[in-house]
Structure formats: C-alpha cells, structure tokens
Amino acid sequence: MNATTEIERAAAGDAPKPRKRRRRWPAWTVVALLALWAVIRIGGWEQGSFPTQLMTVTPIGAGLAALTALLSLLRRNRWAAPAAALVCVAMVAVVVPRTVGAEQPAAKGAPLRVLSINLFGQADAKTVVDLVRKYDIEVFSALELTYDEAARLDAAGLTQLLPHRVSQAEADVHGSGIYAKYPVTELPGLFTPLGPNMPAATFTLPGGGKVEYVAIHPNPPLGRMEQEWNTNLRNLPSPSPSAVRVLAGDFNASLDHRSFRNLLDRGYVDAADQVGKGLIPTWPNNRSVIPPIISIDHVVADRRVAVNRVEILDVPGTDHRGVFAELRLP
C-alpha cells in the first residue's frame, strides 16, 4: 500500500487500523522463580515451611521448567527458552538418578522383608493382612494406628502372621506400632521423638543378625511444625556397628529435602532409591481428583544392607501407599 492510497483512505474517513500489540508472556518471571527453586534445591538451602514443602515437588518443578522452555520457544523468546531449559537440566540432574538402580553391597546375611503403611486410622484391614501374607512380611511399621484400627487388624488375622509387637496405638492418628514375626524387645531410649509415637524395637532373625527397627512418623513440616520436623529427623539414631538399623515409615520427607539427605549421609540408604524406584509417589492416594504426586514414605536401611526388591503398594482406605522392601543383612 503506497502513501497516495493511505491519504485517499484518510480523506474518505477510512483510517488504517492500528496494529494490535502482542501480549507478552511473563516468561522471565517464571524462569527466575524456577531458577531460584533449582538453586535452593541444589544448595540444600530451604528454610521455613513453604520452601521446605516446595522441595517435595521438585520432580514436578523439572516438568514445569521443561514446559516453560517449550512455551518460550513457541513464543519466539530466544533468551527465556534456553534459560528455562538450563533450569530444567539442573532439576533433572538431581531427580533422574532415582530411576537407576545402584550397585548393592555383597551382603550374605539373613533376609528381612519389611512393610510400612500409614494406615490413616482406617485402612482396609483385610488388604493389609493379605499383603503381609503375600509378601511373607517379617516386620511391619503401622503408622497412624488407632485402637479401632489395631482391633480390626487383629480380627483380620494379623496376630497369627505377626504375633509379636510393640504397640503405641492411640485414640487418634498419633499412634504407631511395630508388628513382627519374631520376639521383639522395645528400645524406649534409642532416641527422643516429638509429636506422634515412633516406637523402636530390637529382634534377632532366625538366620542370625540383630536388627534395631524404628517405625517413623514425624509431623509434616507445616507452619510452626517445620522446626519440630527438622528436629525429629536430626534425632533419629545413626547406624550402629553392633546392630543393623532399619527406619521405616512416613517420614513426611523426600529425597529433595536436605534434612532427609543428611540422615542418609550418616550411613543409610533409601531402599526405593537403591532399586531405581525413588520417583514413584506414595501420597496422596485413593483420591478421585489428585493422583499420588510426592514420595514421602520410605524404608531406610544401614548402607551395609543389600536391597533386593521394593514394591509400592495401593491400600484402600488410606491416603498413603505402602512400601515393601526385601533386604539382605550383611
């Protein structure tokens, strides 16, 4: 269109329409927030309730960074796209190793089959007992164990399969218990728990080998409970040269939490991580709208222990998945 035509149109009252300004997508704001998230995660610098909770969904953060990179590329933002891709690579680097199994120690001791379930006070007792029978469980962490739930488990046949126990059931979800196939002795002074009950016990396997076992369930790091949660993880006992220690339960923590990694660094391994299943989520479960998105239930064992198998199990009636681990002692 030439200048003469424009003048003629203007004289006729047909002025050219102004071009619409393309709405800018706030890519840099999103990239900056994701980059801050990645830096905090890699540095282990989370402090306070919200950053601590945010770390739990770092695998989802990696997906958000990838989506941001793609959208920026489609919007032809040539600087935001590679920046978001770099953030994605940083997050992926810390979560993908959980999908790869690790080399196991040459453990030749007795086998130990462990089950941990946060019962939510109302898990289907028959399903729990069926899992104990199916996997030939030798020790079971029962979290959020109420008096009513304990009675339902016994009525469903748990007493016949795991007759020995250290029960600290409560009227509410602060109760917990350890059920075992072999005689157990409570260890009340092993550590000092805060909040929900976290019983500890010792037992000896028929094939030899002393095991000290703790049912784990600290309060989640919500609001003011974040400091209590950190203290609970710090208070958990370190590995012992005289016994194999296994900590199993609902840690309300993931491998993206500095406090949980600090616990592992003392000489433990996460069983699911050892067999490449560390990214399988365990909470929330049995909800029609939200699928499981975070991995906060764990079996943690002395690093001298070999992890042969891990299964993440669905249990009706509770909002947690169960964790089964087949271990072999040194």
pLDDT tens per residue across span 241-278: 999 999 999 999 999 999 999 999 999 999 999 999 99
Band the pLDDT of 178: cuts 50, 70, 90: very high
Inter-residue contact 320 to 285 (CB < 8 Å): yes
Give me the pLDDT at residue 16, please. 56
What pLDDT, on the 0 to 100 scale, is given for residue 21? 52
Measured between alpha carbons, how far is 173 from 156 in angstroms, rounded to an integer? Answer: 20
pLDDT-based confidence at 77, cuts 50/70/90?
confident
Give CA–CA dist 248/324, Å, rounded. 10
Instruction: Return d(Cα 147, Cα 60) in angstroms, integer.
Output: 37
pLDDT in tens, 285-304: 998 889 999 999 999 999 99
State both tokens at 147: 């008096």
Beta bridge partners of 283: 294
H or E, element range at 147: helix 147-155
Sign of CA dihedral 158, 164, 169, 173: negative
Nearest residue to 246 (alpha-carbon basis) of 305, 160, 187: 305
Say what the pLDDT of residue 173 is: 93
- Render pLDDT for 191-206 as a digit per residue (tens, 0 to 9): 999 999 999 999 999 9
3-state secondary structure of 228: helix
Helix, strand, or coil (residue 134): helix
DSSP type of residue 208: S
Task: Choose the weakest-confidence range: 12-16, 75-79, 207-211, 218-222.
Answer: 12-16
Cβ 217 vs Cβ 250: under 8 Å: yes
Q: Which domains are present in the chain?
A: 27-99 (no CATH), 111-328 (3.60.10.10)
pLDDT band at 30 (very low <50, low <70, confident <90, very high): very high
Q: Is the per-residue pLDDT at 55 higher than 80?
A: yes
Tokens 């590995």, residue located: 239
What percent of the chain lies above the pLDDT cut of 90? 88
Give residue 288's identity as a one-letter amino acid code. Answer: S
How much is the pLDDT for 233? 98
Confidence band for 13, pLDDT divided at 50, 70 and 90: low
Using pLDDT thresholds of 50, 70 and 90, give the confidence band for residue 50.
very high
Name the pTM for this structure. Answer: 0.91
Strand, coil or helix: what is 306? strand
Pairing mode, strands 139-143 and 176-180: antiparallel
Q: Are 180 and 165 in contact (CB under 8 A)?
A: yes
The rounded distance, in Å, linking the Cα atoms of 199 and 164 is 14
Say yes or no to pLDDT of 9 above 90: no
For position 215, what pLDDT does the model report?
98
CB 301 within 8 A of CB 307: yes
Do residues 28 and 82 make contact, with C-beta atoms less than 8 angstroms apart? no
Tell me the pairing of strands 139-143 and 210-216.
Answer: unpaired
Q: Hey, what are 298's tokens? A: 């764990």
